Structure 1
């Protein structure tokens, strides 16, 4: 029997992190599409890292509140780290589809499909990293629904990068995307069934507080600091105006 610890703290905090990652990724993508060359590539990389990190952080903050009656939960460290790398890498493929494709519709559809499947892969890799005294099973229909939600959320996120530029619209889009990512996570969790066995030996792996919590803090700090950097960095219009302003100063 699964249980929810920490009450509403972990769902609310995980949603906030999903929104922050989505908002930051959206702003990086907007900057990328107004840049070219190396600058575009760098902004796309930052966008992929922000979205992938935000989604991963959301997942494992939510998992801090997940428990199973009758057994403790530990995590396989290499597999958990792999789930983070998969999230960033596959979201990055979707982001680069949008950043360099000449067809907006094709780039959003293909990018959303790839990124959504990557988000789902991250989720279920993270679940596979769990170590407990029992067997974990899934409802295939609910799993399929969670993957569909992930693809829809990723597609909506990439569409937003091409159509939303105002600050208020970007905030609204990030709130919706955070909600979609959270819906995917909790739909995936609803598919979980655990058959608890009697524990005859210690469960291998790291406890959430030994590994997951410190890593979540580090990645959360990264998102906040990167958000400040993006907010303070000059936008496309300011950068375009800078050479003209400098030229005026030289003439004077």
Structure 2
């Protein structure tokens, strides 16, 4: 597979920008860990999931990382659109997709770092995955697929926003979606009117797949549903991103 060198260079640029904003980077890394600890130690004793609560909550915490990481991607894209750097890139004959792909690649790398941190803390407080090497790799591949999808969606939101501040607000939905899902409590404990949405929103099959893979449990058709959602989101987001970029840079 050929990798666009412009996208690689721009991914490196996005990572360097992140390293110059340590407060935002630390927040993106630590906030999911803190939320996981809050759920485990403050609420875990009151929530019956049929297993140790830390075992139940880790997949949801991983997806929470992706939401926070995607928020920074949307802000970075909006900042590029505002500060005039896009004109410089276009003068070098760099197209919109490589520019946005650089942001997405950096987002994936940042999210993998935060996910590794969440997993390390989870192991320290009692999480014990049962996955073998191949199953663990399958879980990692699904997680990367989801992070890529949500990062492209964040890039679209960054293009829609008129300012970096507005982009941060637009990403609220992505950070909110893990809550009305099976991330932190079983769906059957929610009000009946919420079951339909929680059962059929994109994050639930991703969470259920990760939970089953990491704990070496039957996954049913959840992984295929999750991959279908991720593929649909990525395809739609890339198409919209290309269209919006061309519209905003005319």
TM range (shorter): 0.3 to 0.5
Larger C-alpha radius of gyration, 1 or 2?
A: 1
Structure (1 or 2) with the greater strand fraction: 1
- TM-score, normalization by structure 1: 0.33
- TM-score, normalization by structure 2: 0.34
